[in-house]
Structure 1
Amino acid sequence: MRRPLGDVCLDIASFARERKHEFLSYILRLAAAEAYKTTAEDDAFEMPMPRRPAARELILGFWDWDISNDRNYLDAGAAGFFNIDPDKAARGLPNTAHLAAVHPDDVDRVRAAARAAMRSGGIFECEFRLITKDRISWVLARGSCTLDRDGRAVRLPGALIDITHDKTMN
């Protein structure tokens, strides 16, 4: 079976993550994303593994939180997973509007990760469950917080990645 390099990287990333090698898993996920951008169909590897969704299939959507004005702008994909009308999400809503879809046991962890990123600037990363249409999905939310000259958080854009497959395979 011929497989794109990005798929191979994601398989190895899952294997690394299962063995608690988080940094290696992260690097391999980045490599997969890069491979999907640059790999031609000819550049495939023979791998006797079941098909995994491609990285581009795993990205659920994007957000851009204007922290100063407490307006979170979500694309249609992210809005759908947070059970928010896509038109309203595109116009921006208070950041707390999306928390209703976050599993109740995960809300505090999501808030704590956001506060940590806002304190220091830089990477926001959090795994949590979303409850949508009688289904629970696991997502990895990853973004980067920007601080102003005075050290106040002003913006936090990012992406949601579906990691349900990884969580259900463990």
Structure 2
Amino acid sequence: MTPSLKSALAASGYVGVWETNLATQTVAMTGALPNLLGVDEQRAAAGVPVSAFLEGVHPDDRERVAYLIQEAHRTAGRFEADFQTNDGPGGVRRVAARGRVEVDADGRGHRCLGVVLDLGDGGLADLTVSAQRLRAIDRVVDALIAVRPLLADAGSPILRTLIDATLLEFGRLLASQMEQADRQIN
């Protein structure tokens, strides 16, 4: 990830990304994700065990999220979960996480890449954002995550940066819509 993209993620305060090495079961996290999970940012950037990630998930959701992670890794599939994080400086937060396991030439999963959005202290059920629009954004984000590994073969860092920037912009768009919906509720 480029330094400018890392800075943009950190500045957003509500978008984070992760990369899980399936061989070592370590997760590198940047942007808002370390803070949401209560993980030291430097430790998170270097990579922490999946168990450290799960410690930041609220106890009510931890078992379900652990199962979804395990299934995505086992099947080299997609990870999708909305869950609460632990009480921290910002209190309990709702997040939406979407990711996909990349496979090697033999079809075995080798890493999982994903994005997480801070949805605030309410849940998706509290928002007036249309479900159809959320599904459309989710499909686009899912497709972009799927395209990222193909760009490694293309040898163009510019294309990968554009995909990363597009993912960031979708995060901003979604957060903006949710802030507007939150204002309507309150």
Does the alignment reach a TM-score above 0.5?
yes
With the length of structure 1 as denominator, give the TM-score of the two structures. 0.59
Matched, 1:139 2:95: yes
The one-character-per-residue Cα deviations of 1:46-92 (angstroms, maximum 9, x if unpaired) are xxxxxxxxxx9684211111111222111142111111111111111
1:158 aligned counterpart, secondary structure: strand
Cα distance between partner residues in 2 of 1:63 and 1:91:
11
Q: Which has the higher strand share?
A: 1
The structure with the greater share of residues assigned to helix is 2
Gaps of 5+ in 2: 1-10, 129-186
Q: C-alpha separation between the residues in 1 aligned to 2:18 and 2:127?
A: 27
Structure-2 separation of matches of 1:76 and 1:161: 10
Do the aligned partners of residues 57 and 163 (structure 1) sit closer, same or farther apart at CA in structure 2, a change above 3 Å counting? same
Using a 3 Å threshold, how does the CA distance of structure 1 residues 147 and 78 change in structure 2: closer, same or farther? same
Distance of aligned partners of 1:134 and 1:88 in 2 relative to their CA distance in 1, 3 Å threshold: same
Deviation at 1:117, TM superposition (A): 1.4
C-alpha separation in 1, matches of 2:60 and 2:16 = 22
> C-alpha displacement at 1:159, in angstroms?
0.7
Structure 2 CA distance, aligned partners of 1:147 and 1:59? 28
Q: Of residues 79, 101, 109 in structure 1, which corresponds to 2:64?
A: 109
Once the 2 structures are TM-superposed, how far is the Cα of residue 153 of structure 1 from its aligned partner?
2.5
Amino acid of the structure 2 residue aligned with 1:115: Q
Q: CA deviation at 1:113?
A: 1.1
Structure of higher CA gyration radius:
1
TM-score normalised by length of structure 2: 0.54
Q: Is the 8 A contact 1:146 1:155 kept in 2?
A: yes
